[in-house]
Structure 1
Amino acid sequence: MSSISTPKPVSANYRLIVLLLVVIVSGASQGLLLPLLSILLERHGVSSDVNGMNAAALYIGIFCTMFFVEKPVVKFGYKSVIVAGLILVTGSSLLFPVSSSLILWFALRLIVGVGDSSLHFATQQWILSSSPADKRGRFFSLYGMAYGIGFSIGPLGINLLPFGEAMPFLISGGLYAVILLLMLRIPNELPEQAGASEAAQNRFVRSYRLAWFALIPPLLYGVMEASMNSSFPLYGLRIDLGKQWISLLLLTFGIGSIILQLPLGVWSDRIGRKPVLMTCAFLGAGLFLLILAAGDHTLLLFLLFALAGGIVGSFYSLGMSYAADIVPKAILPATGVIASVHYSIGSVLGPVFGGYGMRYVSVNSVFIFLGAVFLIFAVLGIWFKREPKAEVDA
């Protein structure tokens, strides 16, 4: 399906706004489904371990999609993949209330993971490939902001449960349907095709060779995000922080990320992606170590969490923008696949290292580990000398 319809041309601003709305609604859906389905399974008497295993289906779908999504994007275009993802997620959202079967919900979560991952990948690539080099940082930072806003407001949908268990799913499906209608107005575009010499090379190997440094930030972002969400609550409990303070500190971390996404993106457009990444890595490493020194002083922790979230919360978007500066557009989809796989690997490694470190090394090991990896990344930047490519690829 090379296109769903034959729409009239639209402005670049309209396309960007619709793509950002896609990201907001998708982020809200993910932010809602995770706690909502857990609550409903708990209501139905499902044990916590089975509940957790069922929730893993979403991440299985997201991870597996990265191994095949590139080819549909290249063959059918950005819009076609986004529309297919929207259809998958909309249909799945509306089917959740039909039955509370664990097998059905596992399958639906898997499909949601595939759909969400597909539309996110195509949206990222479309924004990156269509952004002028001098504005790429700010445009892609808007993507990060949109997802952060959506994911933050998503859990509010739990408040719709008094109107019936089906209501949150119906609202979510309805929002997806509205976004689908807006997407149909946008003409489809295909990624730039590789030339004969480029096609003969392994595009994944070439992506690593050209942009290995820019591909580390998605890995670090995955490590950081998963560590903060899984290991910090354990750290907080062990230093006698109240559960309410732990949740508010995590919220503060997320808000800091949203607030500084755009300023850091604009800054990277002006002075370069590499110096901003290195500066943020140095500052982030210091802030994570200062969190240890703050102990259980809540006011100081709130300040440090807001700063740390703002400083390192843009690592994924800055890294992807930097990679798009370096690699030819023809291999940008392959580079995006690598970044997504790195993020998934980081999301797995973060809780593992954090959990084992807290058990066998020190309760403080999670922040020592985060400080160390961001510091190592900043030092590695000294050896990375590749300059951004010309706007027209050779």
Structure 2
Amino acid sequence: MSNTRMSAATWAGIGTALSCGLIAAVGIAINAPLFALTLDDTGMTPTEVGFLMTFAGLAGLLCTPVVPWLMGRFPVKGILGGGLLASSAMFLLYPVTDNIWVWTAIRFGFSTSLTIIFVASEAWFLELAPAHLRGRLLGLYAATFAGGFGIGGFVIAQLGHQGPATPYAGAAIMALATLPLLLFKTPAATRPEGAEAKPSALLARLMIAPALFVPAFAMGAIETSAFNLFPLWVREVGFEDAAAGYLIAASGLGNILLQGPIGMLADRYGRTRTLLAVAVIGFIGPFMLMVAKSPTEAYAICFLWSGCVTGFYTLGLMGLAERFGKTELAGANAAYGGSYGVGQLIAPLAGGTLLQTLGPSGFLAGLAVMALTPICAIAVQHQAQRKS
């Protein structure tokens, strides 16, 4: 399909999917430091905070296999609208109570609704993106997604984590994001049928090409650890609380500006070579943070490091679109989201334990190790291909 033959409705669909990714990321970026700082204020240890954060990963892991089933039975715009309204309601529930376990349950529901938004919107986006523009458009998708992190980080840096202002702002943002779904005429997503609509489609896609899903695992592990535990890391190294929000905003800005170039490099030099390059930077970045002497230095480092780590997600989605057909994309993207959820599940507790037992440097070293997993997957895949 050429660029000139794409209809206005197709471009509207791409823009609508982008807007859902943007707003969902805003919600995560507000929710993560809000939750972490509030728990830390109660005197909980980083390990305990990390444990409670694993429930968000568990929610994503449990609901991801259901998304192809939902997409086989309901219009994608209805699924996305329901997810956005549910997320808005979760934000409104936060100020109602100060009970930690109720907050954890709300966080579980929040993660469930956001996972549905991400998996459904990404599958729709991958279907609409033409092959000759896929790397650039996926770079734009990841940049938009990352921009949401920057916006969310700025919101909580300005409004703080105490009081109802931040949850109310989050609720309003999520609710307003339903407007593009109502206003624009867009193509419908292809509905999975038969085996492709079953939760088992996730495992089937995963077994076909397991190496394609490792970047999502790495991204889920690093992103969840960093965005949830950076607020505690900021306090450990002696920065002000507001630095946590600005650190997330700086990371988001790097993600916005670097995903386009990463996508173009992948179109030109190949996905695998580009993935190796960003993984090397993903490994080096945390060690640079260890020697940062000021918040400004930390912002600059996270700008580059986070932008490259987010490239894992961009390049992984590119691999999915290359490998699977339209009817397989919902299951493949559910498997991709499930891989991301596994990273979400195991990383916060591991990161919190490292922060508590080994201090800030141990936590950062853990982030560096996580960035090596895509390189290991590529090496194993190449070795298997040589033997076959």
Task: Name the TM-score class by shorter chain.
Answer: 0.7 to 0.9
Q: 1:167 to 1:218 in 2, by over 3 A?
A: same
Give the Cα–Cα distance (whole angstroms) in 1 for the partners of residues 38 and 368 of structure 2.
38
Alignment of 1:224-263 (within 5 A): 224-229=222-227, 242-243=239-240, 247=244, 251-263=249-261
Q: Which residue of 1 aligns with 2:4?
A: none
Q: Which residue of 1 aligns with 2:220?
A: 222
Give the letter aligned to residue 381 of structure 2: F
Deviations 1:131-177 (A, max 9, x none): 11222222222222222222322255458979x96665555444444
Give the Cα–Cα distance (whole angstroms) in 1 for the partners of residues 171 and 356 of structure 2.
42
Q: 1:205 to 1:150 in 2, by over 3 A?
A: closer
Q: Which residue of 2 aligns with 1:18?
A: 16
Q: 1:169 to 1:325 in 2, by over 3 A?
A: same
Q: Which residue of 1 aligns with 2:65?
A: 67
Please identify, of 66-75 and 24-33, the stretch whose mean Cα deviation from structure 2 is larger.
24-33
Give the Cα–Cα distance (whole angstroms) in 1 for the partners of residues 250 and 359 of structure 2.
25
Determine if contact 2:190/2:327 at 8 Å carries over to the other structure. Answer: yes
- Give 1:119 shift: 1.6
Give the letter aligned to residue 208 of structure 1: L
Give the Cα–Cα distance (whole angstroms) in 2 for the partners of residues 64 and 187 of structure 1.
29
In the alignment, structure 1 residue 346 sits paired with structure 2 residue 339:
no
Determine if contact 1:222/1:344 at 8 Å carries over to the other structure. Answer: yes
Aligned residue for 2:211, secondary structure, equals coil
Alignment of 1:279-318 (within 5 A): 279-289=277-287, 291=289, 294=291, 296=293, 303-318=300-315
Q: Which residue of 2 aligns with 1:326?
A: 323
Aligned residues: 370
Determine if contact 1:29/1:154 at 8 Å carries over to the other structure. Answer: yes
Determine if contact 1:241/1:296 at 8 Å carries over to the other structure. Answer: no
Give the Cα–Cα distance (whole angstroms) in 2 for the partners of residues 244 and 281 of structure 1.
29
Determine if contact 1:31/1:150 at 8 Å carries over to the other structure. Answer: yes
Q: 1:38 to 1:301 in 2, by over 3 A?
A: closer
1:131 to 126, 129, 144: 129
Q: 1:101 to 1:272 in 2, by over 3 A?
A: same
RCO (CA 8 Å, sep 6+): is it higher in 1 or 2? 2
Q: Which residue of 1 aligns with 2:3?
A: none
Determine if contact 2:57/2:345 at 8 Å carries over to the other structure. Answer: no
Unaligned runs of 5+ in 2: 1-6, 384-388
Give the Cα–Cα distance (whole angstroms) in 1 for the partners of residues 27 and 284 of structure 2.
34
Q: 1:79 to 1:382 in 2, by over 3 A?
A: same
Alignment of 1:1-394 (within 5 A): 11-36=9-34, 47-49=42-44, 60-94=58-92, 99-100=96-97, 102=99, 108-157=106-155, 168-169=166-167, 171-184=169-182, 185-187=184-186, 189-191=188-190, 193=192, 203-229=201-227, 242-243=239-240, 247=244, 251-289=249-287, 291=289, 294=291, 296=293, 303-357=300-354, 364-375=361-372, 377-382=374-379, 384=381
Q: 1:128 to 1:379 in 2, by over 3 A?
A: same
**Structure having the larger proportion of residues in helix:** 2
Give the Cα–Cα distance (whole angstroms) in 2 for the partners of residues 379 and 60 of structure 1.
25
- Give 1:124 shift: 0.9
Q: What percentage of residue pairs aligned between the two structures are identical?
A: 21
Give the Cα–Cα distance (whole angstroms) in 1 for the partners of residues 219 and 88 of structure 2.
28
Deviations 1:268-319 (A, max 9, x none): 1233222211221133334444555x46487765554333222222212221
- Give 1:332 shift: 1.9
Q: 1:10 to 1:175 in 2, by over 3 A?
A: farther
Determine if contact 1:357/1:366 at 8 Å carries over to the other structure. Answer: yes
Q: Which residue of 2 aligns with 1:390?
A: none
Please identify, of 120-129 and 173-182, the stretch whose mean Cα deviation from structure 2 is larger.
173-182
Give the letter aligned to residue 190 of structure 2: P
Tell me which structure has the larger Cα radius of gyration.
1
Q: 1:301 to 1:130 in 2, by over 3 A?
A: same
TM-score, reference length from structure 1: 0.75
Aligned residue for 2:188, secondary structure, equals coil
- Give 1:365 shift: 4.1
Please identify, of 109-118 and 331-340, the stretch whose mean Cα deviation from structure 2 is larger.
109-118
Give the letter aligned to residue 335 of structure 1: A
Give the letter aligned to residue 205 of structure 2: S
Determine if contact 1:235/1:364 at 8 Å carries over to the other structure. Answer: no
Cα RMSD after superposing both structures: 4.3
Q: 1:300 to 1:78 in 2, by over 3 A?
A: same
Deviations 1:240-264 (A, max 9, x none): 5545796455554443223211211
TM-score, reference length from structure 2: 0.76
Give the letter aligned to residue 139 of structure 1: L
